[in-house]
């Protein structure tokens, strides 16, 4: 299917004065006092364009704090009145949408646990038909780009044109220092398919810990994301949910001031130099592909020899040898180890496929 979204630019529905969008606020709206104090501090720091708060909290197991629900929505009305800033909440059911709009919530977002289920997303899309409200869609919990795209398409087909994506990272079976693995390549592919789609980075849910927020936020800006959504609480250590990843408004402001916002271009001289470097990259990419094609020609000869001598295509010891030696070569060239590992796994598996294909051919 051809990728297409009919959406309005971010600047048409929120004014950030040319700066990256910043959505900030507590993970959960816990009490009226906590919500107002946090929001007022955020407003006083002057960095935020939108106040966020969790009202309905989808939790893995029952018994955890699942949000204050409708009781918290009047608090957000008061936040709007006190700060003059729009407010945003997560919605997971048509009833959530109805209640959020009843209490004048300005922006809705669809959480990762909802994005993963097309039935749920379609119910939200049906409930939003004819309603002019911005909707941000978090990536699904699992690393499935098509699910993310599908959720965006369902909402867009329902008439939601003020649409954006939130990249909050993905669950990963492997242990990493982050709560959710960023897997930046998935978000980059989304942005490549839909250049007009605003993409907001969520370093809070990627990190899981305050110590990693800066590096993740900076990476998002380096990749030209349109903004950040970050959790902020008046007293993070006493937060009822996700305490470890929240910052005070003052600490968040300090972090944001230290971030570097990259520009897309720097004038004609920069553009000229950029094209020169890109041209060199294009040439090297072509050489890489020519080298890969030459390697595959040798693989075919190897397969013919194996076939004629009744030798199996796949040999575990050889596979290990390839990965180990290429990792060592890559390290000596200062290449990222994961890049080398994944690259040669792909190359070797294609080699096995090619050998199997050749070995199954009938001799002329």
* Domains contained in the chain, CATH given: 10-258 (3.20.20.70), 268-359 (1.20.59.10)
- pLDDT tens, position by position, 95-121: 999 999 999 999 999 999 999 999 999
Q: What is the pLDDT of residue 261?
A: 86
Taking the CB of residue 130, how many other CB atoms lie within 10 A of it? 7
Nearest to 248 by CA among 200, 203, 210: 210
Q: Angle at Cα 98 formed by Cα 94 and Cα 101, nearest 5°?
A: 135
Q: What is the pLDDT of residue 270?
A: 56
The Cα–Cα gap between 230 and 336 comes to 29
Dump the DSSP string for 28-97. B---HHHHHHHHHHHHHHT--SEEE-BSS---SSTTS----GGGGHHHHHHHHHHH---EEEEE-SHHHH
- pLDDT tens, position by position, 244-263: 999 999 999 999 999 988 76
The Cα–Cα gap between 144 and 171 comes to 11
Contact 68, 57 (CB under 8 A): no
Which residues does residue 52 pair with via DSSP β-bridges, in sequence order? 88
HEC per residue, 181-250: ECCHHHHHHHHHHCCCCCEEECHHHHHCCHHHHHHHHHHHHHCCCCEEEEEECCCHHHCCCCHHHCECHH
Distance of CA 96 to the CA centre of its chain: 24
Q: Which residues touch 179 (CB under 8 Å, ≥6 apart)?
A: 169, 205, 206, 207, 208, 209, 245
Inter-axis angle of helices 337-359 and 316-332, nearest 10: 140
Inter-axis angle of helices 213-222 and 249-258, nearest 10: 40
Q: What is the pLDDT of residue 13?
A: 95
The Cα–Cα gap between 249 and 260 comes to 19
Reduced to 3 states (helix: H, G, I; strand: E, B; else coil), residue 136 is: strand
Q: What is the DSSP letter of 130?
A: T
For the chain (364 residues), the mean pLDDT of every run of 10, in chain order, is 83 94 96 97 97 86 81 97 97 98 98 97 98 98 95 98 97 81 90 94 95 94 94 95 94 95 61 74 80 86 83 79 88 87 88 85 57
Q: Which helix (H) or strand (E) holds 138?
A: strand 135-138
pTM: 0.77
Q: What is the pLDDT of residue 308?
A: 83
Taking the CB of residue 314, how many other CB atoms lie within 10 A of it? 12
The Cα–Cα gap between 80 and 88 comes to 10
The residue assigned the tokens 């606020």 is 25
């Amino acid at each position: 299917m051809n990728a297409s979204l009919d959406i309005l630019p971010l600047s048409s529905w929120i004014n950030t004065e040319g700066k990256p969008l910043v959505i900030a606020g507590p993970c959960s709206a816990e009490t009226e006092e906590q919500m107002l104090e946090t929001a007022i501090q955020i407003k006083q720091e002057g960095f935020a364009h939108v106040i966020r708060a969790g009202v309905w909290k989808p939790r893995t197991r029952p018994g955890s704090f699942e949000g204050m629900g409708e009781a918290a929505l009047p608090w957000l009305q008061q936040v709007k009145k006190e700060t003059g800033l729009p407010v945003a909440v997560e919605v997971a059911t048509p009833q959530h949408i109805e209640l959020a709009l009843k209490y004048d919530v300005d922006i809705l977002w669809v959480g990762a646990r909802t994005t993963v289920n097309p039935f749920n997303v379609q119910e939200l899309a049906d409930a939003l038909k004819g309603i002019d409200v911005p909707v941000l869609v978090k990536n699904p919990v699992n690393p499935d780009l098509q699910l993310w795209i599908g959720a965006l398409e369902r909402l867009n087909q329902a008439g939601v044109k003020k649409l954006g994506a939130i990249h909050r990272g993905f669950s990963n079976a492997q242990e990493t220092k982050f709560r959710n693995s960023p897997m930046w390549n998935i978000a980059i592919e989304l942005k490549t398919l839909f250049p007009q789609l605003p993409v907001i980075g969520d370093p809070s849910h990627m990190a899981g810990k305050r110590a990693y927020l800066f590096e993740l936020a900076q990476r998002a800006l380096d990749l030209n994301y349109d903004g950040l959504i970050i959790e902020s609480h008046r007293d993070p250590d006493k937060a009822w949910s996700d305490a470890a990843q929240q910052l005070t408004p003052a600490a968040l402001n300090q972090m944001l001031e230290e971030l570097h916002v990259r520009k897309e271009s720097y004038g004609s001289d920069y553009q000229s130099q950029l094209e020169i470097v890109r041209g060199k990259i294009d040439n090297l990419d072509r050489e890489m592909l020519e080298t890969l094609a030459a390697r595959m020609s040798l693989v075919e000869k190897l397969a013919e020899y194996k076939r004629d001598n009744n030798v199996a295509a796949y040999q575990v010891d050889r596979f290990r040898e390839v990965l180990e030696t290429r990792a060592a070569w890559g390290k000596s060239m200062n290449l990222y180890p994961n890049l080398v590992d994944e690259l040669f796994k792909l190359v070797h598996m294609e080699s096995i496929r090619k050998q199997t294909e050749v070995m199954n051919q009938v001799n002329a």
